[in-house]
Structure 1
Amino acid sequence: MEEKIEKFKKMIKEKKMIDSMLALLQWDLETQAPKGGYKLISEMIGELSLKSYNLTTSEEFSELLCELKEKEEKIDGILRKEIEILEEEMEKIKVIPSDEYRAYSELTAKAQGIWEVAREKNDFNSFAPILEEIFNYNKKFIEYRGSNSDVYSIILNDYEKGMNIEKLDKFFEKLKSEIVPLLKEVTEKEKKSKENLNFKVDEYNQKMLSEELLKYIGFDLNRGILSESAHPFTLTVNKDDVRLTTRYFENIPFSSVFSTIHEGGHGIYEQGIGDELKETMLADGTSMGIHESQSRFYENIIGRSKEFWFGFLEKSKFKYKELEEISLEKLYRDINEVSPSLIRVEADELTYSLHIMVRYEIEKGIFSGEYSVMDLPKIWNEKMEKYLGIRPDNDSEGVLQDVHWSCGLIGYFPSYALGNVYSVQILNAMKKEMNIQGVLERGELNKIKEWLNEKIHKYGKLKTPKEIMVEITGEEMNPDYYIKYLQEKYRSIYK
């Protein structure tokens, strides 16, 4: 038995090595590779993806999993969970022909470069053909699995176990019924202006502040780095090599502030995974919804609080001189201004989930056949006007703004809204164990990180989202807490 376990661990190590190399190629592709190098990198990603596929779907690996499962009473809980997750992964990919698996891996790598150029040139038509291919591949891969369920529901379940169209329709309907009237209520009040936050800061100083913020919230820059990309993201090689990106706009310095804190939340999660999981397939976030709960927790609940900025401005070694000229009350109001915006990553807390609803309804419509890819700019603009009352002037600030679809992350967007809801439930549980306001005012962010490490991060994939939420909060996901949080916060600001 020990011999089989060692063989299993050896094969997992090989798979993780391949996956780490893929991560490094992906990082290079999105941060610094010249456009002329995209083709070769895409081919390299395809080749390595095929190696990972071949290992995972091999008869030898399958037989080894079966043998270990038959003796599962003799193996520990970590190994049992690892086998369970690997079996699920195998079931998903073994039905996909190897040539198509490789082709799709190359396609999504290539698509990111095409998307970036299309966004720069405001040219959706140049991106549409490859985007349609990506959607078609996703549909075909699900059909290979032979399920009678709705294609999009299966994709949603892959990102968040137990999730489907029926549940998300009810979830978004509840959010819409509460958020849209609240949005109307607060925007009819006195307008707040955040012009004071749109002062000019050069890229170097924005970088300096971003690194200071990451250290302040608890991201370990000895085990991670911060770079730049067209769209901020977090990529993990392993828990000791976690890579974040942000982006800098000279006249909107707080854009990088919040994207940096957001990605920092993702990074803290990855760095906090238990050491005993490091060499296993469990060394990752349990779901994208829980992962987004951590980034949204840091970005919004912490980063947009008055207490956080009081502590940071008192303790930080580096800060913009302009911040010292703004009262704390004014700063708090400005960073929480409610103003429907075109760009999701710049959205305030109140309107953010409406941006996600637009994307969710579009994805659902494409898989149902209601929408075609070529019609997406028109559909996007109509939905933005319907939910947020604003209409993009061009596709770069509309349908082309997000990188996700080019990466093949179809079905990912609802995770952001789920993460918002999870984050507030987690906040309520944390309040019962510590004075969060006092902790933030004193700059003791380590206490918050340690609490999250202990309750969530260290478990990686060892526990399901449902198990984590029930253990922390005593119940499954409940959007009522999030709605109440938004109502209390914004009615307080917009009196």
Structure 2
Amino acid sequence: MESRLERFREIIKEKKLLDSTLAILHWDIETEAPKGGQELLSQMIGNISLKAYEISTSEELNEIVEFLKNMKNELNEIDKKEIENYSEEMEKLSKIPPMEYKAYTELTAKAQGVWEKAKNENNFSIFKEYLEKIFNYNIKFGKYRNPNKNPYDVILDDYEKGMDRKKLDEFFKDLRENIVPLLKSIQEKKIDNSKYIDGEVSKCSQVLISRFLGEYLGFDFNRGIISESEHPFTLTVNMDDVRITTKYIKELPVSAIFSTIHECGHGIYEQGIDEKLKYTLLADGASMGIHESQSRFYENILGRSKSFWEPIYEKLQEKYTYLKDITLDEFYLGINDVKASLIRVEADELTYSLHIMVRYEIEKGIFEGKYKIGDLPEIWNEKMREYLGVVPENDREGVLQDVHWACGLIGYFPSYALGNVYSLQIYNKMKKDLNIEKILKEGKLHLIKEWLGEHIHKYGKLKNPEEILKEITGEGLNSKYYIEYLKEKYSKIYNLK
């Protein structure tokens, strides 16, 4: 058995090295690569993806895994879980024809550049053909994998195990019934606190603050970097090379603050995975929902609290000089201003999940044959009107605002809303173990990072989302803490009865 296990390790390490190479190529294509070089990079990504696919579905690896599955009682916890995870992934991949998989990876690599061009030129028609192909591939792949199941349910399960349309419909219904009335009550107040954060800040000053915030939160710059991209993201080469980006907008300087804090939440998670999981298939987040719970926890629960800024507000005022005459209390009101906005990444904490509902219902409608890709700009605008009461004036502010579909991340968006809910469940337990207010006021963020590392980060994929939640909170997904948090926080801010 030992020789088989050793060979399994060798093959998986080879696969992980290819994955790391792909990560670097994706980083390059999304940050530094010249436009003229994106065609070649896309071909390189397709070629290496095919090699990784061939390793994952090889007869040799399949035979080794089948042997080890029969010996699972003799395996340690890590080997057993990795064999289990690999078997699931291999089953998914083996049902997709290799050349179709290669073509799809090349398509999504190219589509990101096309999306950026379409967004910059405010021209959905440029991107339409690519988007149609991406959705068609996902529908086709879902059917390949399970012809007896709706392909969207198949895809949703990839991002959050056990999730499907029925569960999400109930989940979003609960959020909608509680958030929309609260939003209307706030809108009736007609209070505009955005004046406290309106201003202009040079890119240079924003870069310095982003670096400072990363260090303050505990992001390890010896094992990570921060750069700039059209759409902020986190990319992991491995746990010792975690790369995050933000976007600097001169006239919207607070944007970079919160995208940096958000991405640091992802990055700290990746850097906190136990060293013993390196080069295994478990060196990743438990799920996208759990991953988003970490980024949303840092961005909103910590980053939008007044206590977080108390020790560092003067530091922020030094670089964001327009804040010199804005008190911390006013700044707190500004960063928690509630306003129905067009852009998801700029959305306030309260309305954010409504943006996710728009995307979820569109994805579901496409998979169910209800919507056509060519009609998405109009469908998008109508749903924005229905849920948020605002309508984009152009596609740049509407259907083209997110890069996710260009990357092939179909079914990913619900993870953001799930992450919001998970984050409050986790926070509710953390408050019983730690004096969060005291920790924030004293600037001892390492204590929070250590708690998260011990309860979540170190496990990687060794534990699934349900196991993590139940071990921390004693229950599964429960939106009541999130809803109570929003009602309490914003009723206080807006003096609601």
- Range moving further from structure 2, 333-342 or 195-204: 195-204
Using a 3 Å threshold, how does the CA distance of structure 1 residues 170 and 6 change in structure 2: closer, same or farther?
same
8 Å CA contact 2:55, 2:61 repeated in 1: yes
Corresponding residue for residue 254 of structure 1? 254
Deviation string 1:107-158 (CA, Å, 9 cap, x unpaired) is: 0000000000000000001100110000000011111113311111111111
8 Å CA contact 2:227, 2:244 repeated in 1: yes
State how far apart, in whole Å, the 2-side matches of 1:201 and 1:315 are. 14
Corresponding residue for residue 483 of structure 1? 483
8 Å CA contact 1:291, 1:419 repeated in 2: yes
State how far apart, in whole Å, the 2-side matches of 1:9 and 1:137 are. 32
State how far apart, in whole Å, the 1-side matches of 2:312 and 2:456 are. 25
Corresponding residue for residue 170 of structure 1? 170
State how far apart, in whole Å, the 1-side matches of 2:215 and 2:324 are. 21
State how far apart, in whole Å, the 2-side matches of 1:406 and 1:142 are. 18
Corresponding residue for residue 214 of structure 1? 214
Q: How many pairs does the alignment contain? A: 495
State how far apart, in whole Å, the 1-side matches of 2:178 and 2:322 are. 37
**Identity score, percent:** 61
Superposed, which structure 2 residues align to 1:164-203 within 5 Å?
164-203=164-203
SS of the residue 2:245 aligns to: strand
Superposed, which structure 2 residues align to 1:293-372 within 5 Å?
293-313=293-313, 319-372=319-372
Corresponding residue for residue 398 of structure 2? 398
State how far apart, in whole Å, the 2-side matches of 1:488 and 1:123 are. 42
8 Å CA contact 1:45, 1:105 repeated in 2: yes
Using a 3 Å threshold, how does the CA distance of structure 1 residues 29 and 341 change in structure 2: closer, same or farther?
same
Corresponding residue for residue 419 of structure 1? 419
SS of the residue 1:349 aligns to: coil
SS of the residue 2:244 aligns to: strand
For residue 315 of structure 1, report the CA deviation from its aligned partner.
Answer: 7.0
For residue 453 of structure 1, report the CA deviation from its aligned partner.
Answer: 0.3
For residue 196 of structure 1, report the CA deviation from its aligned partner.
Answer: 3.3
**Are 1:226 and 2:226 matched, yes or no?**
yes
What TM-score comes out, normalization by structure 1 length?
A: 0.99
What TM-score comes out, normalization by structure 2 length?
A: 0.98
State how far apart, in whole Å, the 2-side matches of 1:347 and 1:445 are. 25
8 Å CA contact 2:118, 2:126 repeated in 1: yes
State how far apart, in whole Å, the 2-side matches of 1:167 and 1:317 are. 45
State how far apart, in whole Å, the 2-side matches of 1:389 and 1:73 are. 57
Corresponding residue for residue 4 of structure 2? 4
8 Å CA contact 1:115, 1:406 repeated in 2: yes
8 Å CA contact 1:273, 1:457 repeated in 2: yes
State how far apart, in whole Å, the 2-side matches of 1:35 and 1:192 are. 41
SS of the residue 2:227 aligns to: strand
State how far apart, in whole Å, the 1-side matches of 2:139 and 2:194 are. 44
State how far apart, in whole Å, the 2-side matches of 1:314 and 1:194 are. 20
State how far apart, in whole Å, the 2-side matches of 1:261 and 1:222 are. 18
Corresponding residue for residue 282 of structure 1? 282
State how far apart, in whole Å, the 2-side matches of 1:238 and 1:317 are. 35
8 Å CA contact 1:209, 1:318 repeated in 2: no
Question: Which letter does structure 2 place at the counterpart of 1:164?
Answer: D
Question: Which letter does structure 2 place at the counterpart of 1:35?
Answer: K
State how far apart, in whole Å, the 2-side matches of 1:68 and 1:111 are. 39
For residue 190 of structure 1, report the CA deviation from its aligned partner.
Answer: 4.4
Corresponding residue for residue 49 of structure 1? 49
State how far apart, in whole Å, the 1-side matches of 2:318 and 2:292 are. 28
SS of the residue 2:95 aligns to: coil
Q: Which runs of 5+ in 2 are unaligned?
A: none
State how far apart, in whole Å, the 2-side matches of 1:235 and 1:451 are. 23
SS of the residue 1:236 aligns to: strand
For residue 321 of structure 1, report the CA deviation from its aligned partner.
Answer: 3.1
Corresponding residue for residue 117 of structure 2? 117
State how far apart, in whole Å, the 1-side matches of 2:313 and 2:387 are. 36
Q: Which runs of 5+ in 1 are unaligned?
A: none
Superposed, which structure 2 residues align to 1:74-113 within 5 Å?
74-113=74-113
Corresponding residue for residue 204 of structure 1? 204
Deviation string 1:319-368 (CA, Å, 9 cap, x unpaired) is: 42333421111011000000010000000011000000000000000000
Corresponding residue for residue 241 of structure 2? 241
8 Å CA contact 1:273, 1:283 repeated in 2: yes
Deviation string 1:272-292 (CA, Å, 9 cap, x unpaired) is: 000110121100001000000
State how far apart, in whole Å, the 1-side matches of 2:428 and 2:393 are. 40
Question: Which letter does structure 2 place at the counterpart of 1:11?
Answer: I
Question: Which letter does structure 2 place at the counterpart of 1:396?
Answer: R
8 Å CA contact 2:122, 2:396 repeated in 1: yes
8 Å CA contact 1:190, 1:494 repeated in 2: no
8 Å CA contact 1:212, 1:316 repeated in 2: no
Question: Which letter does structure 1 place at the counterpart of 2:12?
Answer: I
Question: Which letter does structure 2 place at the counterpart of 1:4?
Answer: R
8 Å CA contact 1:50, 1:101 repeated in 2: yes
